[in-house]
Structure 1
Amino acid sequence: MESAELAELAAFTAVAKHLSFRQAAIERGTSASAMSHSIRSLETRVGVRLFHRTTRSVSLTEAGDMLFARLGPALSDMRAAVDELNTFRATPFGTVRINVPNSIAPYVLGDAIEQLLKRNPGLKLDVVATDSLVDIVEEGFDAGIRFGERLSQGMIAVRLKSNLRFAVVGAPSYFQDKGTPTTPHELQHHTCVRYAFPSGTIFNWEFSKNGESVQVEVDGPLTVDSQELMADAAARGLGLAYVWEDRAAPYLRDGRLKACLEDWCVVEEGLFLYFSSRKHQSAGLRTLIAAMKA
């Protein structure tokens, strides 16, 4: 089989899996127009329409469904066979796609990525940082990082060492004008910068002390979807912010922000790297897992 044919079949499999040219293009590291061209070329070569296309949706024809059922396992076996060649290399070769929450990406990946890429010159990492909940299998990722939420069936989770901690911070001028809260309950009387997930859900601030856990639904005139914006808004005196301590560190060092409720802010330990138990675990993914655990 020619390499062009294999490329077309791989493109077909990606589009069939996602039923989206855009998502398939992201997985394949190319453009949607290139994916569309590959599918048209394949359909012309085999003389059968494989997809129903409209401006709003993509679906498999009966022929396309049959081809996908046969082709998916075959291509997986081929990828696994090629990956086994890594046993003959000093370091793994290939690309690993990983999804990680945008709010914590720099603090859990930075050192690990640096060491991983320096020690494995044949390895490539494709990192997508987003606070949206992502189905890593459907979106074509090899692994994801997530806090201790319930994972889908068929996933394996590896606990990561974590020293991430939240902090409640505000500008010195804010504390001078509004006072300093001494318990989480007092936050209901303070102006706070709220954080909204991509779904629109507002994040409640969570605290724990001496076995007592508290969730506070804060209020304020400003809602953002970025911890960086939260820290900046707090530094401008617009209210208190609840952000990762590492995110606030530069502001805390130069005095633009001060912390409060420190005895209520605990270390977040429920951080996991997770991946599908049904998918072939490549040498690159195994190396990433080892690096993240370390």
Structure 2
Amino acid sequence: MNRRLKPGEYAEVRAFAAVAEARSFRRAALDLGLTASTLSHAVRALENRLGQRLLNRTTRSVTLTEAGARLLQDLAPALALLDNAVAAVGTPGDAPMGTVRLAAPRLAIQMLVAPVIGRLARDYPHVTLDVRTIERPGDLVEGFDLGIQLGHEVAQDMVAVAVTKPFTTAVVGSPGYFATHPPPVHPADLARHQCIGCRSGPGGALFRWSFERAGETITLDVDGTLVADDSDLMLYAALSGIGLWHGVDRIAQPMIDEGRLLRVLADWSPTYPGFHLYYAAGAPLSPAVRAVVDALKAGDP
């Protein structure tokens, strides 16, 4: 039998959702303007009421139990509708208002989000953009309104809009590096080179370098003295002569034009779908979310 939530119970549900999305009592407390102790008591009261643990807590982390993950997934659409309804009331001049949560890889944030934050702040002063760096945002079940991901990685049940042109990969190294290492002319030659490794994807697996030409595809495991999950560090390492970097042509092109990097294996470089902005199909977008979508769609930098 269904029953309405009492006011105190709604506060408990909201507290749980905030902590679950932030994966931290401290961060959630800052977002809500409450104390971590208040949130902890609210979540504990909800767990006692339901008779199930929703969050696993340690001194270093907060994770969802299976029951907590199900509850958060079911709550997310309802809470989003409530937020939109509240944001729509009392908005000056019917201007967009509210918080828009966006998950995106670091590269997409650099290329797409950073250039528009000034315009968003100026044109929509009542919209708060909450950006989280997540290399593979997934299907937005953790309370995000929008995600940015490479086109071929977006789930088919999402609304996806291309916001960049396709990417072509590039392998580059510094002139200093090539002064002591002959440039590779075939992907197999990379076995004799220092290659900067990249950790990405679930579990931080090592990224395998892929090449293709005239219908032939080659995928390689590479070795080197540096492995990282930060693209800025990897690019800096390539500029410093530590090894070869496998990245995106448009990121490396300014440094190629300046002569600080030299490109190799260009005829083996595959092209991939560019970044896509995506969101859940079905419910209409709130004015605040629509404002962010329109800003990100405005052009391919």
TM range, smaller chain: 0.7 to 0.9
Q: Distance in 2 between matches of 1:68 and 1:144?
A: 18
CA displacement 1:238-286 (0-9 Å, x = unmatched)? 2111123344356435433222223333554342112222566322212
Q: Distance in 1 between matches of 2:180 and 2:140?
A: 50
| C-alpha displacement of 1:195 | 0.8
Q: Distance in 2 between matches of 1:274 and 1:140?
A: 14
2:232: which partner in 1? 228
CA displacement 1:14-48 (0-9 Å, x = unmatched)? 45xx3x8735765675389835413525877x9x6
1:78 aligns with 2:82: yes
1:142: which partner in 2? 145
CA displacement 1:164-194 (0-9 Å, x = unmatched)? 4432111212212211122333223322111
Contact 1:21 1:32 in 2 (8 A): no
Q: Distance in 1 between matches of 2:77 and 2:173?
A: 54
Corresponding residue to 2:101 among 75, 91, 97: 97
1:124 aligns with 2:93: no
Q: Distance in 2 between matches of 1:7 and 1:162?
A: 44
| C-alpha displacement of 1:163 | 5.2
Aligned AA (1:243): G
CA RMSD of aligned residues (A): 4.1
216-225 or 171-180, which deviates more: 216-225
Contact 1:25 1:31 in 2 (8 A): no
Q: TM-score, normalised by structure 2?
A: 0.74
1:183: which partner in 2? 186
Q: Distance in 1 between matches of 2:157 and 2:277?
A: 14
| C-alpha displacement of 1:158 | 2.0
CA displacement 1:103-127 (0-9 Å, x = unmatched)? 3321122333333333222211111
188-197 or 26-35, which deviates more: 26-35
1:289 aligns with 2:293: yes
Q: 3-state DSSP class of the match of 2:107?
A: coil
Q: 3-state DSSP class of the match of 1:105?
A: helix
Aligned AA (2:115): D
1:114 aligns with 2:114: no
Aligned AA (1:180): P
1:159 aligns with 2:192: no
Q: 3-state DSSP class of the match of 1:290?
A: helix
1:171: which partner in 2? 174
Q: 3-state DSSP class of the match of 2:38?
A: helix
Give the direction of change, closer, same or farther, for the CA distance of 1:24–1:273 in structure 2 (3 Å limit). Answer: farther
Contact 2:11 2:42 in 1 (8 A): no
Q: 3-state DSSP class of the match of 1:124?
A: strand
Contact 2:148 2:278 in 1 (8 A): yes
Aligned AA (1:30): D
1:217: which partner in 2? 221
| C-alpha displacement of 1:136 | 5.2
Q: Distance in 1 between matches of 2:144 and 2:75?
A: 19
Give the direction of change, closer, same or farther, for the CA distance of 1:79–1:224 in structure 2 (3 Å limit). Answer: closer
2:242: which partner in 1? 238
Give the direction of change, closer, same or farther, for the CA distance of 1:187–1:161 in structure 2 (3 Å limit). Answer: same
Q: TM-score, normalised by structure 1?
A: 0.76
Percent of aligned pairs sharing the same letter? 31
1:30: which partner in 2? 31
Contact 2:73 2:142 in 1 (8 A): no
Contact 1:96 1:125 in 2 (8 A): yes
Q: Distance in 2 between matches of 1:23 and 1:94?
A: 22
Q: Distance in 2 between matches of 1:203 and 1:14?
A: 33
Give the direction of change, closer, same or farther, for the CA distance of 1:165–1:23 in structure 2 (3 Å limit). Answer: farther
Q: 3-state DSSP class of the match of 2:242?
A: coil
Aligned AA (1:281): L
Q: Distance in 1 between matches of 2:124 and 2:33?
A: 30
